[in-house]
Structure 1
């Protein structure tokens, strides 16, 4: 009798977890689209390794497309059994290698990075996107809508290792796009704050930029460094092989 009760309890727990997973997958209120700057990734203590598939685009590249709840919480790991299937995104791979690369070491073809992004974030987006192709295509399309580096350079904000006002960077991007982004900063190996990535909020369709209902916690001080795309040892940036 106790065994039967235990079995029924186990089934109930499984059903509850399944229901919780589905509810997470259908509770997307908006997205965060993050574009990362390779120069800042490389200037970190860990350094960087560029993909072994060739040179990436020398501009901000896609970090991820993160589904969020109404409170701004990022929805994660909604279906651990739904793994990346490269055959579903074959038509996107060439573009993803240039615009959605991994800078982590050791060098790879970026597949482990994409698998991580899909498992952690993409699986929580299935109430919006039909599958893996649509999810990654949306991330690439959003990247093509805003050329962050071009916008900044047109206003004299260059990746030259100099220091710039984070408020000015935000304002320049806001004027160009019509929405206010969130800046994300990290600390380089010398303890200096640097522009790591720019995040834009996206509506629940995953296609249009919008002002954020809830902004991420600020991580940038008033003055931040904008490092070169690929630096040298003299600049404190080391490319690991």
Structure 2
């Protein structure tokens, strides 16, 4: 099963129950974001049409399971390496936990409490930051893009989508399948790690390092056919982000 199919199947496990329905985008479902300027921004993500799903490998302090990367976020890149941020401060919701609980998304919340963790603030503050800074800049999540809109429905859609995308991107497993596992003594070729992940994902990825050569973050990129809520995410190359890692890297244990 492809990574898209896995993500779609996993997304179906998280039913959305708020009384809000995204616009129907049948006529725009084949248009790929970043393919041109669109005025139909409820159905085609614009200007932020390059979506970067970013993951952490935190080891000091360690966060999340020892056999999984964790979620950083989903960022709408303006297709040219630039970003819009904090696009609607009136929708910078707080208490994401209660928002998800009230929407019946307890499974999504539980997953986030395991795989979407901060290493320097509360998880709740981290989620609030990711939504307020990045989620509010996703054009298809604008309240005007819903019928029977209920406050917070678009934020719930955001968190459900980020979780489902992450579940279709098992970075640890893809690397382990290539014989690349965390080690406090062994080093790895950066090109080997990138090749293993590109082969599994279907497009080039970007690995970032800290402390010169310690791998700690990865960027996957997508264009989207249709809306973020129910469109098709198509793997593509990152724009505006390059690796800072040397040719030989460390991938330490948690």
The two structures have a TM-score, normalised by structure 2, of 0.67
Contact between 1:194 and 1:226, CA under 8 Å: does it hold in 2? yes
- Against the structure 1 CA distance between its residues 226 and 49, is the aligned structure 2 distance closer, same or farther, given a 3 Å change threshold? closer
Q: Where does residue 202 of structure 1 map in the other structure?
A: 222
**Which 4+ residue blocks in structure 1 deviate beyond 3 angstroms?**
55-58, 204-207
Return the alpha-carbon distance in structure 1 between the equivalents of residues 238 and 55 of structure 2: 19
SS at match of 2:140: coil
C-alpha RMSD of matched pairs (Å) = 2.3
Over residues 49-94 of structure 1, what are the superposed CA-to-partner deviations in whole Å (9 max), with x where a residue is unaligned? 75xxxx6574111101000102121221111222224233221211
Return the alpha-carbon distance in structure 2 between the equivalents of residues 97 and 49 of structure 1: 14
Q: Which runs of 5+ in 1 are unaligned?
A: 1-21, 43-47, 230-241
Q: Which runs of 5+ in 2 are unaligned?
A: 1-40, 143-152
Bigger Rg, which one: 1
Return the alpha-carbon distance in structure 1 between the equivalents of residues 116 and 217 of structure 2: 13
Aligned counterpart in structure 2 of residue 98 of structure 1, from 101, 111, 114: 114
What does 1:1-241 correspond to in 2, within 5 Å? 26-39=46-59, 42=60, 48=61, 56=65, 58-85=67-94, 86=96, 87-90=98-101, 91=105, 92-104=108-120, 108=122, 110-128=123-141, 131-161=154-184, 162-187=186-211, 192-204=212-224, 205-206=227-228, 207-212=232-237, 214-229=239-254
SS at match of 2:127: helix
Return the alpha-carbon distance in structure 2 between the equivalents of residues 64 and 136 of structure 1: 9
The two structures have a TM-score, normalised by structure 1, of 0.71
